Amino acid sequence: MAGILTLISVVAGASLASVNEMTKGPIELIKQQTLESGIRAVLNSNDLQVQAIDSLQEGSVIIYRTDKGNAVQATDANAFGGNLTVLVGFAGDGTIQGYQVLETSETPGLGAKASFWFKEGKGSILGKNPSKNNLTVIKDGGEVDAITASTITSRAFLRCVNAAYEALSMSADAESGATKQANSN
């Protein structure tokens, strides 16, 4: 009686192990492809090479350095209903090239508008530079039009963008500092 249950469990476990083995490759491949196409999309370039990947602040910010600029992935934990993860593409001088919302626990239709809202019209952040433009919502004294009825999401989104830029410029400072040091030695 218990034998049958054990038998069923063993068969189930074995079949799961084999399916896991079979799907492991495709899952990895898809994750990689999504990431690569994301980086291409936010940097507006179909032909780029990822040269280095830096993980900062325990993985909450990841910088993908490419020959066409930098793509930075940043997460904000205080979005509406959980985490918001955004991938932002910066040109060499810090100008925003594009962005993509990678993870959101937002209500579809409302907060999910973030995936296109900040690309057009008064809400657009494209072509702006976090070091020159105040990228916060108008309500907070900034210059970005918040998503209608979704200020929390808009704030979380812009926090991600600013955090991404900050991490990027800080790591750039550290790097150029390190190069300087290396040169002076």
Partner 1 sequence: MKYLKVLLNGIVKENPTFVLLLGMCPTLGTTSSAINGMSMGLATTAVLVFSNLIISCLKNLIPDSVRIPSFIVVIASLVTILQMVLQAYVPSVYEALGLFIPLIVVNCIILGRAEAYAAKNDPISSIFDGLGMGLGFTIALTLLGACREVLGTGKIFSMTVFPENYGALLFVLAPGAFIVLGYLIAIVNKLRKA
Partner 2 sequence: MAYILIFITAIFVNNVVFSQFLGICPFLGVSKKAESALGMGAAVAFVLTLATIVTYLIQKYVLIAFGLEYLQTIAFILVIAALVQMVEIILKKSAPALYQALGVFLPLITTNCCILGVAILVANGTYSTQGLEPNLLTGVVYAFSTALGFALALIVFSAIREQLDLMPVPKIMRGTSIALVVAGLLAMAFMGFSGVDNGLSKLFGL
Question: Applying CB under 8 A, which of residues 59, 109, 121, 141 lies at the interface with partner 1?
Answer: 109
Q: With respect to partner 2, which residue has the nearer C-beta, 43 or 74?
A: 74
Round to whole Å and give the CA distance between 163 and 132.
15
Using CB under 8 A as the binding rule, whether residue 23 contacts partner 1 is answered as yes
CA angle 105, 150, 70 (to 5 degrees): 65
Task: Give buried/exposed letters for 57-76 (b at 16+ CB in 10 A, else e).
Answer: eeebbbbbbbebbbbbbbbb
Q: Rg of the chain over CA atoms, in angstroms?
A: 21
Question: Applying CB under 8 A, which of residues 15, 55, 57, 176 lies at the interface with partner 1?
Answer: 15
Q: How many residues bind partner 1 (CB under 8 A)?
A: 21
- Among the candidate windows 42-50, 81-89, 123-131, 162-170, which touches partner 2 by CB under 8 A? 81-89
Using CB under 8 A as the binding rule, whether residue 82 contacts partner 2 is answered as yes
Residue 26 site contact among partner 1, partner 2, none (CB < 5 to 8 Å, cut-off depends on kind): partner 1
33 is written with which tokens?
Answer: 């492809």
